[in-house]
């Protein structure tokens, strides 16, 4: 309860113990946004860890503690033009599709790397892989936006643990079948 806290109070560290049940609509713990920032500045997020029981331990170092609320926001999975950003969660969620649709590009890149140890000689093959993956991500996001966003959000929230996102994975693969 922060109602009786002075407007500015220097406090080196605050710990939040959060479980998914605390914030079901805020799957991503990516930012800490104070309600007011006109008198003091909050410093950056220090660390994040998960305890064996699933509780997430968030450590912040703050110079601003006068809070009416704080928001936990999901990092956007798309850029300003609507193209998916290839974060680890996006790539993990799309990995089966990438393995199928970009198989030949990946194979050519790996053959090049095996044949020639000089990375410069395989840049074109690497660009082909990147072009294929980015094109695939754009197609997937256009065809099944909600299912992809749900799956990516789950993967991000659960640190890319597939076993914890099977329901979202099924919905995604049903809507955007593996071709």
Task: List, for residues 91-105, the tens digit of each pLDDT value.
Answer: 999 999 999 999 999
Question: What is the CA angle 74-147-56, rounded to 5?
Answer: 35
The CA radius of gyration of the chain, in Å to the nearest whole number, is 21
Residue boundaries of the structural domains of the chain = 11-71, 88-175
Beta strands 11-18; 56-62: pairing state: antiparallel
Task: Find, among 95, 76, 84, 80, the residue nearest to 139 by Cα.
Answer: 84
Q: What is the average pLDDT across 166-177?
A: 95
Mean pLDDT of the chain: 71
On whether the CB atoms of residues 160 and 92 are closer than 8 A, the answer is yes
Beta strands in 39-170 (DSSP E): 45-50, 56-62, 70-71
Model pTM score = 0.57
Question: How much is the pLDDT for 171?
Answer: 97
**SS3 for 45?**
strand
67: tokens are 């809070």
Asked if the model's pLDDT at residue 174 lies above 50, the reply is yes
Distant-in-sequence, close-in-space partners of 144: CB < 8 Å, separation ≥ 6: 172, 175, 176
On whether the CB atoms of residues 134 and 5 are closer than 8 A, the answer is no
Query: How many CB atoms sit inside 10 A of residue 52's CB?
Result: 5
Q: What is the average pLDDT across 55-74?
A: 38
The pLDDT-based confidence of 23 (bands split at 50, 70, 90) is: very low
On whether the CB atoms of residues 19 and 55 are closer than 8 A, the answer is yes
How does pLDDT run across 105-159, given as a tens digit for each residue? 999 999 999 999 899 999 999 999 999 999 999 999 999 999 999 999 999 999 9
The backbone torsions φ and ψ at residue 54, rounded to the nearest 5 degrees and listed phi first, read 95, -10
């Amino acid at each position: 309860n922060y109602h009786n806290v002075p407007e500015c109070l220097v406090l080196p560290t605050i710990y939040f113990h959060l479980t998914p049940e605390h914030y079901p609509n805020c799957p991503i713990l990516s930012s800490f946004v104070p309600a007011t920032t006109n008198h003091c500045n909050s410093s950056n997020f220090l660390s994040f860890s998960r305890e064996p029981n699933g509780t997430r331990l968030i450590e912040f170092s703050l110079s601003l503690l006068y809070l009416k609320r704080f928001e936990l926001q999901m990092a956007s999975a798309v850029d300003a033009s609507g193209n998916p950003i290839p974060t680890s969660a996006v790539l993990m969620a799309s990995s089966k599709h990438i393995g199928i649709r970009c198989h030949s590009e990946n194979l050519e890149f790996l053959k090049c790397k095996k044949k020639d140890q000089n990375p410069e000689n395989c840049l074109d093959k690497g660009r082909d892989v990147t072009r294929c993956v980015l094109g695939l991500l754009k197609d997937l996001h256009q065809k099944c936006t909600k299912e992809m966003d749900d799956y990516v959000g789950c993967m991000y929230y659960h640190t890319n643990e597939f076993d914890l996102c099977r329901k979202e994975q099924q919905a995604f693969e049903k809507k955007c079948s593996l071709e």
